Amino acid sequence: ISTEDVNKFHEIILNQTGRLNSLIGDMLELHRLENTSNTVSGRKPVLWNEVVDELKSQYRDCGKKLQFRETDEAVYVRREHLDSLLVNLVDNAVKYSSGDIVAIEMTHSGKTVTICVSDEGPTIPADQRERIFERFYTISKSRNRRNGGTGLGLSIVKHIATLYKGSVSVEENKQGGNSFTVRLKE
């Protein structure tokens, strides 16, 4: 076997190990969320701008422009829940959007925090919008495998929203893409 073939096989093994590691991590996170009591303890103020700065750093080389509405407001949630929610939504937008821009916005209304992540398409078909929050559900198996998804990210988002007595939804936006809206009770 040639050195070139060995290197190619090493790369395949490394990529598949990364996929497996990601799948196991997502399954463990979903298991923890499903087995958490209906109350969330350990809520502390999380400054939105700090979260924005970390996301900017994490997605600097993603090939998309992330647009944020920055604010000095704090969100009263567990930091790891907010991070997981945002990473799963932004990852999907970055992986599947055909456009160049992913917009992330947070607003407050009373004790409800609304987070919206929007992309530029393609639009998720209306008949699949509820199903995409199910475990392992993907619109296209080949697309998911090509982009490295586990089919658990949106299910994790839904469980976090439910834990905070909130909701998650997706709808078509004006750019011809998708807007995922998560509402959390503080």
Largest CA distance in the chain: 65
CATH number at residue 110: 3.30.565.10
pLDDT score recorded for residue 144: 47
Residue 90 predicted with pLDDT over 90: yes
Per the document, the length of the chain is 186
pLDDT score recorded for residue 101: 93
Q: Give the model confidence (pLDDT) of 73-83 as tens digits.
A: 999 999 999 99
Q: Give the model confidence (pLDDT) of 23-47 as tens digits.
A: 777 778 777 777 776 667 778 899 9
Name the more confident of 144 and 112: 112
**Could you give the dihedral angle defined by the CA atoms of residues 44, 50, 83 and 107, in that order, rounded to the nearest 10 degrees?**
80
pLDDT score recorded for residue 145: 47
The predicted model gives 151-162 an average pLDDT of 92
The predicted model gives 115-137 an average pLDDT of 91
For residue 121, give its domain range: 3-185
Q: Give the model confidence (pLDDT) of 41-76 as tens digits.
A: 778 899 999 998 999 999 999 989 999 987 889 999
What three-state secondary structure class fits 168?
A: strand
- Tally of structural domains, the chain: 1
Q: Quick one: tokens of 1?
A: 């076997």
Span of 63-72, 137-146, 151-160 with lowest mean pLDDT: 137-146
> Do 152 and 19 contact (CB within 8 A), yes or no?
no
